[in-house]
Amino acid sequence: MATVTQSVAEVCQRAKAASHLLARSSREAKDAFLRDLAGRIETEADALLEANWADVDAGREQGLNEALLDRLALTPARIAEMAKGVREIADLDDPVGEIVEGWTLPNGLDVAKKRVPIGVVAVVYEARPNVTVDAAALCLKSGNAAVLRGSSSAEGSNAFLARLIADALAAAELPGASVSLLSGGGHEQLAELATQEGLVDLIIPRGGEGLKNALKDVAKVPVMYAAAGNCHVYVHQDADPEMAERVAYNAKVQRPGVCNAAETLLVHRDVAAEVLPGLLAKLGEAGVELVGDRRTRDSAGDVSVGQATEADWDTEYHGLKMAVGVVDSLGEAIDHINRHGTGHSDAIVTRSQEVGDEFTDAVDSAAVYVNASTRFTDGYEFGMGAEIGNSTQKLHARGPIGLRELTTTKYVVHGSGQIRE
């Protein structure tokens, strides 16, 4: 595994060379690496926790907020989930070489559209050390070399995981530059990575709008944004109140610092007086700061709800705060979501299949739910083993970025001497 003692350009050059070998690597070699890595993560769990605790303590001293500290922190359960995800990736079909479609032309040429690796994938991410493993595992299984740039807040955790990855690569006799970790650099390093034309084939930023904007200003290589999540739950007038409370509460509270947590709750006016007092009380008891429009505050009963500003509807809080609004119709809820959302994940609670279908057809987001929490937008939950992030853009990939989203295609044509007249 490459180290940061080399320049960014040198790391990317070595990764490019490794990518050509990985594209032809057998599934057996790639899966052996993954299963070995999962075992090393489990064996070294206690030492990994110690490295992570040092990062968390340093982050707390530096004044990181609780949402960031939560994304930074590893626990025994999260480490076990990390190892399980790596094994699940090993069990998944290898996408490389898959024939997407094929046909024979009238002139006898056999045309096949075949799935192939992208090449060198650079992943830039903040806080979460599990991304180091998820990105390495997904990139390598899909035949790509990975250049990883984590944040300084997780430097100790990432370095520890990088050592485990390097050892597993060596044991599987795969190129050491298949996965490279950059650390210790500032904005100049990010800019240099994003301008490695001809070496880096794709860069995926996983972080907030600040990271996204920083890359937009400098990137010369293709970017697939795993960006912000201003997610919504809408309670329709025919919703089951108990289901509405359960779904909305989970979407906000289960893990509030992540991109698929709900930031806005919308409730139809006909059920606001019935649904809001109990739901808002439960959210308040969980420590959620609530802000809302006038009709929400009028329907809140004894629950304290501040006045929502226009900015609140556009804000990804990454924490225990939620904006609440009352709407007059399904159409108004859809318009609100499409205007203020980030195209990540949005949900409706309704008894009507027709209403659910209209919502899923009209809401322009990567994942749209009927009667389920937005918290399920996750590669692990979707059966992908893990994810590098959730793409909110529309070209190449949308939603969780898993194995197939890390491939492209080529046309392979077989003939018997045909020439074009």
Rounded average pLDDT over 79-93: 96
User: pLDDT digits over 323-372, tens only?
Assistant: 999 999 999 999 999 999 999 999 999 999 999 999 999 999 999 999 99
Per-residue pLDDT at 3 exceeds 60: no
- 231-376 shares the fold of 8-226+395-414: no
C-alpha distances (whole Å) from 103 to each of 111, 123, 413, 417 are 5, 36, 10, 18
Half-sphere exposure of 355 (CA within 13 A, CB side): 19
**Prediction pTM value:** 0.89
pLDDT at 5: 61
Per-residue pLDDT at 172 exceeds 80: yes
Question: Model confidence at 157, in pLDDT bands (50, 70, 90)?
Answer: very high
Rounded average pLDDT over 112-141: 95
Q: Is 158 helix (H, G, I), strand (E, B) or coil?
A: helix
Question: Model confidence at 394, in pLDDT bands (50, 70, 90)?
Answer: confident
Rounded average pLDDT over 255-268: 95
pLDDT at 2: 46
CATH number of 8-226+395-414: 3.40.605.10
Rounded average pLDDT over 156-174: 97
Residue type, 187: H
**Domain range 231-376, CATH architecture:** 3-Layer(aba) Sandwich (3.40)
> Tokens standing for 323?
């904006």
Rounded average pLDDT over 195-211: 89
Reported residue count of the chain is: 421
> Tokens standing for 357?
């279908």
Domain borders along the chain are 8-226+395-414, 231-376
pLDDT at 43: 98
pLDDT at 184: 66
Q: Is 188 helix (H, G, I), strand (E, B) or coil?
A: helix
Residue type, 101: E
Instruction: Calculate ∠ Cα 258-260-264, nearest 5°.
Output: 105
Question: Model confidence at 137, in pLDDT bands (50, 70, 90)?
Answer: very high
Rounded average pLDDT over 373-388: 91
pLDDT at 225: 85
* pLDDT > 90 in the chain, percent: 84
Question: Model confidence at 228, in pLDDT bands (50, 70, 90)?
Answer: confident
The alpha carbon dihedral of 233, 236, 240, 242 has a sign of positive
